[in-house]
């Protein structure tokens, strides 16, 4: 008996929920032959605004979790992503990626999550310093999350690009709003379903699908976004992001020409680019040892 | 507390002026360009004055676009021909030389700094100049050790750095900018503030005497237009700016889409938080040092006092008492605690806020100290009963003006402290160690001082969150803004 | 009569129970920084001359040695009143400070001057004795003519946390002073921390001290500027709350004019000009006076001086 297909609705992922875009718009994803693969939500600036609001709300709680806990949550995410390999490979296939490359990308995505899961309780030790100041103070500098990070995922590598950018961001206690690949957005929403059923708290990862041209200016100018991570090589977009970011001095990171498959496209620098450095001065009582007192 | 201590002049300190006789300030300074002092291409100059006396100190060249272009080319040439190819250890040795020569000429630098900027000589002498020398000394040692700073990554210098510094710590900011840039192998074009060009020019003399290759450091005096020409010059690879948040935003905007990277050290409106278990007498000193150090012309000044209600009356009474012993006046007097406001413009700004604060309903309190007739002066000022919505609480005043608010709980204090677009620094006073770390963790600021305030050290990274800018200066972290990672 | 006094003293204790006593925290690093800033003050010309003369008049000229004799004390007392007769118009020191056995000699020798006689008591310098003996010693010193009594607190008891005991002992000695001024020596060199210095200061003030004093001079370190600052802060806080002025006496280690002026700067800027008076401030010192005299002569003549020209006390 033939089974009638159920075309899936790819919705947005905001605050742990899967709402449709408030704008009620969608766009079709076509395969090379021009057939529709899927319909996706065309996120609006209000969807973006809503995402930033939930990301902000989730941020302090996420950052306050023990690093070990964040580490376990990311590892759990990797486990669950691994369980969806077949589906993700299939989706990449639909979007024109060969089976071999699709398999590679999905494996690399899982591995990247595992890689970053292990960093949660280590990057602080790599980048933190104890500073030997001349005065009687214990002085140390530690990385701290920037807050809410806007991520513009690369157009290539619809899954791996997204994972490579958001994982280091949330490892560091930030929350994020991601605009998925415009040409290969399917896996981003499937990934969202993984995230939604994992232990990642609602609001930590938010994923929008839609058009760069429409949304980049809003990423750039939103006053409650602390940082922008952009991967791609669209010069006008970069300029819009950098100009708009001057409004509230967002930290803008641009990644050009990165081969995301390569294992050199990961590292603590991706975590640290979304970290502030906080320096603390703490007095050190000095009782002269010889005399033992005053 | 109805009892008041008696600070009359039964024992008046005699004037103790620092001797300025040995200090050579030339009548005229050129631009320091490609190793030589030379006139601006346009021949234009401007005067620099002593804000304490309004007397002209010197006349300096005004750099225009052609001078900026020449300086950037000289820096590029020096980068390609001498500085970048030089063995890193030798670059370090030049920086050590500069550090030593600043120490040797420390008194001259201190006097020039105080004459040009109005800050008390004891601060120039004990803080600005020693820290500037220490900064060069610290980064000198990094020059041949960069592979240990970034152990897994190959780094290269960026190229030519365009650097713009403010008038509040003229020599110290020049050191903060130049030392790490040179240590990482870059060459620089530095523009000192229009109001305070002298010590940067004296530093140029040191750099000349130290024998640095021509063009490695270029110092161009001028105004905002000079700075804009530098930022917009296509030949620079890096912009390092310390100054106002408004200008910082303009810079970020104007370099958008270019290859230039930036670090920005901008404004602040720091909260200094006093909990009810704090060592109050030391806290009062920390409050005083936090807001009145350098006349409050400090981006990280503790300009908002948040004091827990149970000790608010006592702290305010102690502050008022302490204000009576602050000595305001001649910056060249070794006993002066609060010197001159840096410029007429800045004084106007501060006075505007003094008026505004009263209109907003805060109560002003100033000691009745006498002020000199000539020059720009502002009494140390407390605003009592300030509220979070007052503009004197929200906006950076950059003067000796403290807005005082009270709070009930630690959580409330943190919320108030973080309720600002700025995030440069904060202070926290409590006797309880675990509470200190609760607050230092939750305050959104780049530098948090616990039971102290306004401490600086070359090994200690300094810089802001949010609209206080980005990038760090000082310490290992201060190298990163001056290298490219391959 | 002595027993009655003791009972009166005990009664005072009951009233001033320690129940509401709250230790005031002190940040040692902050205190050191503040003290260092006082040292950078530049006191020149007439301000320096004024300070030097003030300092002379604030000295408790001291000899507290096992080998003290009547002859030694007599010499010191004469010096106290005649600091440098070649230079007229100098003040005398504030007081001479001796052991109880030397009080009669000192009393006799300073007769006719404004110089007061201070006697140490209470098993100085260790304080390791019985309360009854301490009270007897105090009374003997007073009966022999002491104007002021410099007692030591029981540091052992203090460090054991027996604050009530320390408080009550001070209060009892205060009673035995019969109205004479009581200086309470904290022996800060044995108190380990500045928090303890502050606690002991508050305790001494509460128990009835007229002055609080840093040191016996027998323990190193003796007076330091940070320690003195903490004690001045205790005095300040007490004054601001109650309006009662307590005196301060740093003792030991202040042997030159420069240091003395730095202390005066600290005093002046912490407690104001009312304290620039020997009713509220003393230097406990043995060799300070001559160093100040040399400075006064240097200021006056412009020539650096030699100790050979200044009589020892």
Pinpoint the alpha helices (H) of B105-191.
106-117, 121-123, 129-142, 146-149, 170-183
Nearest CA in chain A to C187: A294
**For residue C15, is pLDDT > 70?**
no
Can you give the pLDDT at residue A8?
83
The residue among A48, A78, A258, A291 whose CA lies nearest residue A165 is: A258
Chain A residues whose CB is inside 8 A of the B264 CB are 249
Q: Which residues of chain B have pLDDT under 50?
A: none
Q: Check CB contact of A289 with chain C, cutoff 8 Å.
A: no
Alpha-carbon span B322 to B366, nearest angstrom: 11
In degrees and rounded to multiples of 5, residue C45 shows phi and psi of 50, -130
Q: Check CB contact of A134 with chain C, cutoff 8 Å.
A: no
For residue C178, how many other CB atoms are within 10 A of its CB?
Answer: 12
Helix (H, G, I), strand (E, B) or coil at B301: coil
Q: A17 Cβ partners below 8 Å, 6+ apart?
A: A202
Chain C residues whose CB is inside 8 A of the A284 CB are 29
Q: Check CB contact of B371 with chain A, cutoff 8 Å.
A: no
List chains adjacent to chain B, taking adjacency as at least 3 C-beta pairs closer than 8 Å. Answer: A, C
Q: For residue A12, is it left (φ>0), alpha (ψ between -120 and 50) or beta?
A: beta
Alpha-carbon span B5 to B431, nearest angstrom: 27
Can you give the pLDDT at residue C12?
54
Helix (H, G, I), strand (E, B) or coil at A251: strand
Nearest CA in chain B to A129: B476
Is the Cβ pair B467, A245 closer than 8 Å?
A: no
- Paired tokens of B112: 């020039």
Q: Check CB contact of C30 with chain A, cutoff 8 Å.
A: yes
Q: Check CB contact of A1 with chain C, cutoff 8 Å.
A: no
Disruptive mutation site among A144, A277, A283 for chain B (greatest number of B CBs within 10 Å):
A277
Taking the C-alpha atoms of B445, B450, B456 and B458 in order, what is their torsion angle to the nearest 10 degrees? -80
Alpha-carbon span B448 to B454, nearest angstrom: 10
Catalytic residue at C134? Answer: no
The residue among B156, B107, B97 whose CA lies nearest residue B129 is: B107
Can you give the pLDDT at residue B1?
57
Residues 116-155 of B with CB under 8 A from A: 134, 152-153
Alpha-carbon span B103 to B99, nearest angstrom: 6
Is the Cβ pair C27, B15 closer than 8 Å?
A: no
Cα–Cα separations (whole angstroms), residue C112 to C81, C109, C115: 10, 9, 8
**For residue C103, is pLDDT > 50?**
yes
Nearest CA in chain B to A139: B460
* DSSP classification of residue B258: S
**Cα angle B282-B474-B448, degrees, rounded to a multiple of 5:** 35
pLDDT in tens, A143-157: 999 999 999 999 999
Can you give the pLDDT at residue A291?
46
Domains of chain B, first to last: 28-266+466-485 (3.40.605.10), 271-450 (3.40.309.10)
Confidence of residue A292 (pLDDT cuts 50, 70, 90): very low
- Paired tokens of B474: 């000082």
Largest distance between two CA atoms of chain C: 60
Alpha-carbon span A192 to B1, nearest angstrom: 63
Is the Cβ pair B11, C47 closer than 8 Å?
A: yes
Nearest CA in chain B to A61: B442
Cα–Cα separations (whole angstroms), residue B116 to B99, C117, C208: 22, 56, 54
Taking the C-alpha atoms of A240, A243, A246 and A247 in order, what is their torsion angle to the nearest 10 degrees? -60
In degrees and rounded to multiples of 5, residue B300 shows phi and psi of -100, 15
Can you give the pLDDT at residue B21?
85
Class of the domain covering A11-29+36-283: alpha beta
Q: Are B294 and B119 in contact (CB under 8 A)?
A: yes
Q: Which of B299, B378, B467, B480 does the annotation list as catalytic?
A: B299
* CB crowding B424-435: b at 16 or more within 10 Å, else e: bbbbbbbbeeeb
Average pLDDT over chain A, rounded to whole? Answer: 95
pLDDT in tens, C63-85: 999 999 999 999 999 999 999 99
Can you give the pLDDT at residue C289?
96
Closest-CA distance, A77 to chain C, in angstroms, reads 48
Q: Check CB contact of C42 with chain A, cutoff 8 Å.
A: no
Q: Which of B18, B265, B396, B473 does the annotation list as catalytic?
A: B265
The pairing of beta strand A137-145 with beta strand A275-283: antiparallel
Q: Which of A22-36, A186-200, B61-75, C274-288 is the least confident region?
A: A22-36
Closest-CA distance, A238 to chain B, in angstroms, reads 6
Contact pairs from chain A to chain B, CB under 8 Å: 107
Nearest CA in chain A to B260: A242
C270-297: average pLDDT: 97
Helix (H, G, I), strand (E, B) or coil at A269: helix
Chain A residues whose CB is inside 8 A of the B257 CB are 235, 238-239, 242-243
pLDDT in tens, C39-51: 999 999 999 999 9
Is the Cβ pair A293, C188 closer than 8 Å?
A: yes
Pinpoint the alpha helices (H) of B236-340.
245-254, 280-292, 309-323
Is the Cβ pair A286, C27 closer than 8 Å?
A: no
For residue B29, how many other CB atoms are within 10 A of its CB?
Answer: 24
Q: Check CB contact of C70 with chain A, cutoff 8 Å.
A: no
Residue corresponding to tokens 């200690």: B460
Can you give the pLDDT at residue A7?
82
Q: Check CB contact of C236 with chain B, cutoff 8 Å.
A: yes
Can you give the pLDDT at residue A2?
81
Q: B296 Cβ partners below 8 Å, 6+ apart?
A: B303, B397, B398, B399, B400, B401
Residue corresponding to tokens 């021509």: B214
Disruptive mutation site among C23, C26, C27 for chain B (greatest number of B CBs within 10 Å):
C27
Can you give the pLDDT at residue C2?
57
- Paired tokens of C236: 């300040």
Residues 51-70 of A with CB under 8 A from C: none
The interface predicted TM-score of the complex, written ipTM, equals 0.96
Taking the C-alpha atoms of C210, C38, C215 and C70 in order, what is their torsion angle to the nearest 10 degrees? -90
pLDDT in tens, B408-428: 999 999 999 999 999 999 999
Residue corresponding to tokens 């379903």: A193
Residue corresponding to tokens 């103790």: B16
Q: Check CB contact of B249 with chain A, cutoff 8 Å.
A: yes
- Paired tokens of B55: 């007397």
- Paired tokens of B198: 């002298």
Can you give the pLDDT at residue A286?
84
Regarding predicted confidence, which is higher, C29 or A289? C29
Alpha-carbon span C178 to A37, nearest angstrom: 104
Is the Cβ pair C29, A291 closer than 8 Å?
A: no
The residue among B35, B75, B72, B37 whose CA lies nearest residue B58 is: B37
Residues 42-81 of B with CB under 8 A from A: none
Can you give the pLDDT at residue C226?
96
- For chain A, the residue count is 294
Alpha-carbon span C281 to C63, nearest angstrom: 19
Alpha-carbon span C145 to B232, nearest angstrom: 86
Domains of chain C, first to last: 2-16+45-305 (3.20.20.70)
Is the Cβ pair A286, C224 closer than 8 Å?
A: no
Burial of residue B123 (CB within 10 Å: 0-12, 13-18, 19+) is: buried
Is the Cβ pair C48, B14 closer than 8 Å?
A: yes
Can you give the pLDDT at residue C13?
52
Closest to B11 (Cβ–Cβ): which among C27, C44, C273?
C273
In degrees and rounded to multiples of 5, residue B62 shows phi and psi of -105, 110
Disruptive mutation site among B139, B242, B302, B460 for chain A (greatest number of A CBs within 10 Å):
B460
Is the Cβ pair C240, B277 closer than 8 Å?
A: no
For residue C92, how many other CB atoms are within 10 A of its CB?
Answer: 20
- For chain B, the residue count is 486
Nearest CA in chain A to C197: A294
In degrees and rounded to multiples of 5, residue C170 shows phi and psi of -60, -45
Beta strands (DSSP E) in chain A are 9-10, 26-30, 36-41, 129-131, 137-145, 148-152, 175-179, 205-208, 227-231, 251-255, 275-283
Chain C residues whose CB is inside 8 A of the B293 CB are none
Contact pairs from chain B to chain C, CB under 8 Å: 89
List chains adjacent to chain A, taking adjacency as at least 3 C-beta pairs closer than 8 Å. Answer: B, C
Secondary structure of chain C in HEC code, one letter for each residue: CHHHHHHHHHHHHHHCCHHHCCCCCCCHHHHHHHHHHHHCCCCCHHHHHHHHHHHHHCEEEECCCCCCCHHHHHHHHHHHHCCCCCCCCCCCCCEEEECHHHHHHHHHHCCCCCCEEEEECCCCCCCCCCHHHHHHHHHHHHHCCCCEEEEECCHHHHHCCCHHHHHHHHHHHHHHCCCCEEEEECCHHHCCCHHHHHHHHHHHHHHCCCEEECCCCCCCCCCCHHHHHHHHHHHHHHHHHHCCCCEEECECCCCCHHHHHHHHHHHHHHHCHHHCCCCCECEEECCHHHHHHHHHHHHHHCCCCCHHHCCCC
Alpha-carbon span A33 to A38, nearest angstrom: 14
Q: Check CB contact of C60 with chain B, cutoff 8 Å.
A: no
Closest to A294 (Cβ–Cβ): which among C27, C30, C221?
C221
Catalytic residue at B351? Answer: no
Q: Check CB contact of C159 with chain A, cutoff 8 Å.
A: no
Q: Check CB contact of C25 with chain A, cutoff 8 Å.
A: no
Q: Which of C79, C174, C183, C213 does the annotation list as catalytic?
A: C213
Is the Cβ pair B334, C51 closer than 8 Å?
A: no
* DSSP classification of residue A136: S
Alpha-carbon span C200 to C186, nearest angstrom: 7
Q: Kindly give the interhelix angle for C163-176 and C131-143, rounded to the nearest 10 degrees.
A: 30
**For residue C9, is pLDDT > 60?**
no
Closest-CA distance, B322 to chain A, in angstroms, reads 23
Alpha-carbon span B271 to B303, nearest angstrom: 7
Alpha-carbon span B264 to B446, nearest angstrom: 13
**Cα angle A208-A213-A219, degrees, rounded to a multiple of 5:** 55
């Amino acid at each position: 008996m033939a089974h009638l297909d159920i075309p899936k609705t790819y919705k947005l992922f905001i605050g742990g929920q899967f709402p449709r875009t408030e704008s009620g718009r969608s766009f079709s994803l076509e395969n090379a032959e021009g057939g529709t693969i899927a319909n996706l939500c065309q996120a609006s600036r209000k969807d973006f605004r809503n995402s930033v609001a939930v990301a902000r709300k989730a941020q302090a709680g996420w950052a306050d979790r023990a690093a070990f806990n964040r580490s376990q949550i990311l590892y759990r995410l990797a486990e669950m992503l691994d369980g969806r390999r077949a589906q993700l490979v299939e989706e990449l296939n639909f979007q024109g990626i060969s089976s071999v490359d699709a398999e590679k990308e999905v494996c690399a995505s899982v591995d990247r999550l595992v890689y970053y899961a292990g960093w949660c309780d280590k990057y602080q030790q790599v980048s933190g310093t104890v500073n030997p100041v001349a005065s009687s103070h214990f002085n140390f500098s530690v990385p701290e999350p920037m807050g809410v990070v806007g991520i513009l995922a690369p157009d290539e590598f619809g899954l791996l690009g997204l994972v490579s950018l958001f994982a280091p961001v949330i490892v560091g206690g930030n929350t994020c709003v991601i605009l998925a690949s415009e040409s290969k957005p399917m896996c981003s929403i499937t990934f969202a379903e993984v995230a939604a059923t994992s232990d990642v708290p609602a609001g930590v990862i938010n994923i929008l699908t839609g058009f760069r041209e429409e949304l980049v200016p809003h990423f750039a100018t939103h006053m409650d976004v602390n940082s922008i991570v952009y991967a791609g090589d669209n010069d006008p977009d970069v300029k819009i992001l950098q100009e708009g970011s001057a409004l509230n001095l967002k930290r803008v990171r641009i990644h050009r020409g990165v081969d995301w498959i390569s294992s050199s496209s990961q590292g603590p620098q991706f975590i640290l680019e979304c970290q502030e450095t906080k320096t603390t001065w703490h007095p050190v009582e000095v009782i002269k040892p010889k005399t033992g007192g005053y | 507390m109805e009892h008041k201590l008696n600070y009359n002049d039964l024992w008046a300190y005699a004037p103790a002026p620092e001797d300025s006789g040995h200090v050579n300030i030339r009548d005229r300074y050129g631009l320091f360009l490609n190793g030589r002092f030379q006139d601006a291409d346009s021949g234009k100059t401007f005067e620099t004055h002593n804000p304490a006396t309004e007397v002209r100190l010197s006349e300096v060249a005004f750099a225009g676009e052609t001078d900026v272009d020449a300086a950037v080319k000289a820096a590029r040439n020096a980068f390609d021909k001498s500085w970048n190819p030089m063995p890193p250890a030798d670059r370090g040795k030049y920086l050590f030389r500069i550090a030593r020569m600043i120490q040797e000429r420390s008194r001259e630098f201190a006097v020039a700094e105080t004459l040009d900027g109005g800050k008390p000589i004891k601060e120039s002498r004990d803080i600005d100049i020693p820290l500037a020398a220490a900064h060069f000394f610290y980064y000198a040692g990094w020059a041949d050790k960069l592979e240990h700073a970034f152990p897994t990554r190959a780094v290269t210098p960026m190229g030519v750095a365009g650097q713009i510094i403010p008038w509040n710590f003229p020599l110290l900011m020049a050191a903060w900018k130049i030392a790490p840039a040179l240590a990482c192998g870059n060459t620089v074009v530095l523009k000192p503030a229009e109001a305070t060009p002298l010590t940067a020019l004296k530093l140029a003399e040191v750099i000349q005497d130290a024998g640095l290759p021509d063009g490695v450091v270029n110092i161009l005096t001028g105004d905002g237009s000079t700075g804009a020409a530098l930022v917009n010059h296509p030949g620079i690879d890096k912009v390092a700016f310390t100054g106002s948040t408004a200008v910082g935003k303009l810079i970020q905007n104007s370099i958008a889409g270019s290859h230039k990277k930036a670090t920005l050290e901008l404004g602040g409106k720091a909260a200094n938080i006093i909990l009810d278990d704090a060592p109050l007498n030391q806290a009062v000193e920390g409050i005083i040092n936090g807001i009145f150090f350098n006349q409050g012309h400090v981006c990280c000044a503790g300009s908002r006092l948040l004091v827990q209600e149970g000790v608010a009356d006592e702290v305010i009474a102690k502050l008022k008492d302490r204000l009576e012993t602050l000595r305001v006046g001649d910056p060249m007097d070794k006993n002066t605690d609060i010197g001159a406001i840096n410029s007429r413009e800045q004084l106007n700004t501060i006075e505007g806020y003094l008026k505004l604060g009263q209109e907003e309903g805060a109560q002003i309190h100033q000691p009745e100290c006498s002020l000199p007739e000539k020059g720009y002066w502002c009494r140390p000022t407390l605003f009592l009963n300030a509220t979070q919505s007052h503009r004197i609480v929200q906006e950076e005043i950059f003067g000796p003006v403290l807005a005082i608010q009270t709070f009930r709980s630690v959580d409330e204090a943190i919320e108030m402290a973080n309720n600002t677009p700025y995030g440069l620094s904060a202070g926290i006073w409590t006797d309880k160690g675990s509470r200190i770390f609760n607050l230092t963790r939750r305050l959104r600021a780049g530098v948090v001082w616990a039971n102290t305030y306004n401490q600086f050290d070359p090994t200690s990274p300094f810089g802001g969150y949010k609209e206080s800018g980005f990038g760090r200066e000082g310490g290992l972290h201060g190298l990163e803004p001056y290298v490219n990672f391959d | 009569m002595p027993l009655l006094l003791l009972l009166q003293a005990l009664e005072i204790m009951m009233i001033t129970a320690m129940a509401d006593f709250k230790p005031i925290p002190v940040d040692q690093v902050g205190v050191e920084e503040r003290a260092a800033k006082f040292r950078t003050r530049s006191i020149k010309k007439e301000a320096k001359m004024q300070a030097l003369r003030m300092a002379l008049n604030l000295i408790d000229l001291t000899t507290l040695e096992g080998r003290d004799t009547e002859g030694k004390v007599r010499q010191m007392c004469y010096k106290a009143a005649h600091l440098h007769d070649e230079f007229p118009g100098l003040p005398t020191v504030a007081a001479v400070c001796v052991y109880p056995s030397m009080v009669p000699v000192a009393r006799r020798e300073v007769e006719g001057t404004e110089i007061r006689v201070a006697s140490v008591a209470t098993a100085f310098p260790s304080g390791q004795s019985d309360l009854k003996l301490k009270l007897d010693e105090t009374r003997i010193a007073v009966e022999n003519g002491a104007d002021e009594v410099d007692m030591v607190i029981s540091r052992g008891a203090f460090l054991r946390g027996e604050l009530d005991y320390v408080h009550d002992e001070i209060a009892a000695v205060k009673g035995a002073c019969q109205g004479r001024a009581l200086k309470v020596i904290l022996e800060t060199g044995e108190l380990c921390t500045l928090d303890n210095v502050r606690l002991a200061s508050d305790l001494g003030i509460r128990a009835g001290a007229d002055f609080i004093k840093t040191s016996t001079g027998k323990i190193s370190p003796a007076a330091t500027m940070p320690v003195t600052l903490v004690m001045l802060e205790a005095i300040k806080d007490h004054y601001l709350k109650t309006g009662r002025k307590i005196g301060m006496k740093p003792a030991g280690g202040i042997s030159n004019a420069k240091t003395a002026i730095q202390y005066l700067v600290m005093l002046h800027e912490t407690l104001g000009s009312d304290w620039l008076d020997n009713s509220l401030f003393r230097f406990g010192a043995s060799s300070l006076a001559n160093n100040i005299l040399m400075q006064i002569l240097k200021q006056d003549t412009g020539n650096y001086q030699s100790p050979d020209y200044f009589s020892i006390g």
